[in-house]
Structure 1
Amino acid sequence: MTLIKYTIVFISSIFISLLFPINSIAKELFLPMDLVSWKYKGDRFSCSLSQTINQFGVITFVAKSRQPVGMQVQSYHVKAPYERAILSQVQSPWALNTAPITVDEVDLDKESGKVSFYTDIEALLEAMAQGNWLGVRLSSSNQQNTFDVTVPSVNMAQAMANFNLCRAKLPAMAYRDARDVVLQFQLGQRVVSSSQKQILADLASYLKHDKNVKRVLIDGHTDNVGSNVANLQISKIRADDVASILRENGVRSSLMEVRSHGSRYPVANNNTQHGKAKNRRVTIRAIRKEDAVKRKGS
Structure 2
Amino acid sequence: MTLMIYTLKKLLFPVVFILLSLNSFAKELFVPMDLVQWKYKGDKFSCSLNQAIRHFGSINFVAKPKQPLGVQVNSFHVKTPYERAILSQVTSPWESDYPPVVIEEIGLPKKAGKVSFYDDIENLLEAMAQGQWLGFRLTSSQLNESLDVTVPSVNITQAMADFNQCRAQLPAMAYRDARDVVLQFNLGQRVVSSSQKQTLVDLASYLKHDKNIKRVLIDGHTDNVGSSVANLQISKVRADDVASILRENGVRSSLMEIRSHGSRYPVANNNTQQGKAKNRRVTIRAIRKEEAVKRKGS
Give TM-score, length-normalised by structure 1. 0.92
What is the aligned partner in structure 2 of residue 9 from structure 1? Answer: 17
Percent identity reads 77
Q: Which amino acid aligns with 2:139?
A: S
Q: Is the 8 A contact 1:78 1:108 kept in 2?
A: yes
Aligned residues: 286
Amino acid aligned to 2:17: V
Counterpart in 1 of 2:114? Answer: 114
User: Aligned partners of 1:154 and 1:280: how far apart in 2?
Assistant: 56
User: Structure 1: 5+ residue runs without aligned partners?
Assistant: 14-21
Which shows bigger deviation, 77-86 or 67-76?
77-86
Q: Which amino acid aligns with 1:72?
A: Q
Map of 1:252 onto structure 2: 252
Q: Partners of 2:176 and 2:170 in 1: how far apart?
A: 15
Amino acid at match of 1:140: S
Give 1:202's aligned residue. Answer: 202
Paired residue for 1:34? 34
**Distance of 2:294 and 2:98 partners within structure 1:** 56
Aligned to 1:92: 92
> C-alpha separation between the residues in 1 aligned to 2:180 and 2:206?
13
Structure 1 residue 174: Cα displacement: 0.9
Q: Name 2:131's counterpart in structure 1.
A: 131
Query: 1:225 is matched with which residue?
Result: 225
Amino acid at match of 1:116: S
Q: 1:297 to 1:112 in 2, by over 3 A?
A: farther
Q: CA deviation at 1:143?
A: 6.0
Find the counterpart in structure 1 of residue 4 from structure 2: none
- Distance (Å, rounded) in 1 between the aligned partners of 2:152 and 2:16: 16
Aligned to 2:8: none
Query: Matches of 1:198 and 1:109 in 2, distance apart?
Result: 36
CA deviation after TM superposition for structure 1 residue 78, in Å: 1.2
Look up the equivalent residue of 1:9 and give its one-letter code: F
Distance 1:6 1:293 in 2: 56
Q: Deviations over 1:127-180 (max 9, x none)?
A: 111111000001101464111000001110110011111000000111111101
Instruction: Report the TM-score when normalising by structure 2.
Output: 0.92
Q: Does 1:189 align with 2:189?
A: yes
User: One-letter code of the match for 1:37?
Assistant: Q
**Match of 2:68, as an amino acid?**
P
Is the Cα–Cα contact under 8 Å of residues 80 and 110 in structure 1 kept in the other structure?
Answer: no
